[in-house]
Amino acid sequence: MVKKIKADAVEISSDAVKAWEEMIGRVAGVAVPLGIRPKDISDEEFWLKDDEQSLEVRCRMGRINVSMDIPAGEWRWNTKRN
């Protein structure tokens, strides 16, 4: 079972952030012609996978679900959290 976690609970590597942003950009290129507007894009959600070593980041663009796995080594728990 995957577990939803707060975005500020983790730090994501710059490579993973770049990969996510590139993927979102590619999906947006498809979504815009389908009539999906920026206001139709949900906030990102982070989910801890069953193995408790990898994360999944998710969002919705209208009716399109977008997700990407972030493997161990590309994220860590945020120790600076309040």
| Residue matched to tokens 């796995």 | 69
Residue 81, pLDDT > 70, answer no
Residue ranges per structural domain of the chain: 3-74
pTM greater than 0.85: no
**What's the pLDDT tens digit per position in 42-66?**
899 999 988 778 999 999 988 889 9
pLDDT of residue 19: 96
pLDDT over 70 percentage in the chain: 98
Q: What is the dihedral of CA 26, 27, 31, 36, to 10 degrees?
A: -110
Which residue would you say has higher pLDDT here, 82 or 24? 24
Q: How far apart are CA 33 and CA 22, in angstroms?
A: 18
